[in-house]
Structure 1
Amino acid sequence: MNENLSVLLVGCGKMGGAVLNGLLKRGVSPGNTRVAEPNAETRAALAAKGVVCAADASELADFAPDIVFLAVKPFMIARAIGGVKPFTDKKAAVLSIIAGRKIEWFKEQLGKDAVVFRAMPNTPAAIGAGITAVKASDGASDAQKRAVESILSACGEVVWLDDESQIDAVTAVSGSGPAYVFYLTEALTAAAKAAGLPDDTAEKLAKATVIGSARLMAESEESPAGLRRNVTTPNGTTAAALDVLANGQTGFEPLMIRAVIAAK
């Protein structure tokens, strides 16, 4: 992390706040950050950490950030974008996590020479365990790409996309993916109850199994398929369950493919 990196955050809710906390933990000085956030309570809490805040980006015009990080809600961006242009005129790059707004839209608002990064994080990024896919506009320098990666990596892993059209698939996989995992946990809980376990025990077992399996997958050099094989004894109980889940027509994989296609 470049400790001299300067960042203006426009919007500091859950995701913006997670990015800011990650930057500060990694050594970026509060003096190198500014926050434009309409919520007065949020501004007061950030000011207590030494972060200069304002209700609107236009009030921070004397700041010259390397990156303007846009994390407002989608319905707010049309109003907020006007306050961003003075910073891009001073050669700041824009990093947006705003759903539905393409790079082309930002260039229409900020000028064709503006450098824009469009990113799609997921909700585990709020605890530093997410993954974010990002696409750079033409003209982005290597230094700007490194700066963007250092910002996003404060919240988890980062992958770069070759084409902006891939954002839709990313949204359907990793953006919506946490909901799929939560629903899997719900389904496993329901199955545990159906097998005769008490409600509290069923949920505790399901949650711990999903969390522990995820940690094992993260820390293992084995592929997910390899880990699955490791716990599947031929002709055993796990194999019997997987015969149901791996059915080519009604099993988990074709169901997940249909779900992801629907999400696109």
Structure 2
Amino acid sequence: MPEVRSPTPLYHRIYAVMRERIVKGYYPSDAPVPSEAELAESFSVSRITIRKAMEMLTAEGLVTRTRGRGTYITDRTKENKLNRVVVSNINSLFSYLNAVGKSTRLKVVSLDVGEAPPRICEQMGVLPTTELVRAVRVRSLDRRPYSLSTAYLLPEIGETLNRQDLATTNMIDLVQKAGAVVEKVEQTLTATLADDYAAKHLEIPIGAPLMLVNRLFFNSELKPFYAAEIFYRADRYEYRVSLKREDGKDFSLGN
């Protein structure tokens, strides 16, 4: 069979492989990366191709290149601390959000009122023509984008928001300050790819992998009042769950 040629440039394919190795911990944090000559030999390509791939990794903040010292994996210790948080109930979720807030910085992209996407209206149980308050923000960790979030809120809750508070305070604190009581939270996690909007604000290539976290907050009457869509850079975010057997809850599968 004739060889199938990939439309993706060779350097980008090598970048994708190296990126996966770094994200998965193939190279320890703050450890040196093999030299361009070693990588060129390993991948059977030219050093120019390797150099282009390394430039992409550098631009993404995954490696740090220093003259006379070489190329090193960027230390992700602070990110790992956030990743270790286990969320099992509303209190632990709020504790996690508080920890994220203390470790990151916020930038407000927009704050407006208008019709929300159909999927959001369906989740919140409102008509497609309902106008919701929408707030878009970017969180940065160590001066690099960490997440892009969009919050959709019912007007009676969202009308109290302003850009100054949004730049300094967690959304969950703001909605509770506005009088909302959070009785229940539903959360889903999905793998997705960056479109041009997410790529621009998260400073990653279009098509880069993202983790999408969707949270739906219910009030004391168990009615949705706030929906959040949060895109996390896959190289900077990891979600962990710890499962424990409950006493007296053993079961066996049927034959």
TM-score range, shorter chain: under 0.3
Q: TM-score, normalised by structure 2?
A: 0.23
Q: TM-score, normalised by structure 1?
A: 0.23
* Structure having the larger proportion of residues in helix: 1
Higher RCO, 1 or 2 (CA under 8 Å, sep at least 6)?
A: 2
Which of the two has greater strand per residue? Answer: 2
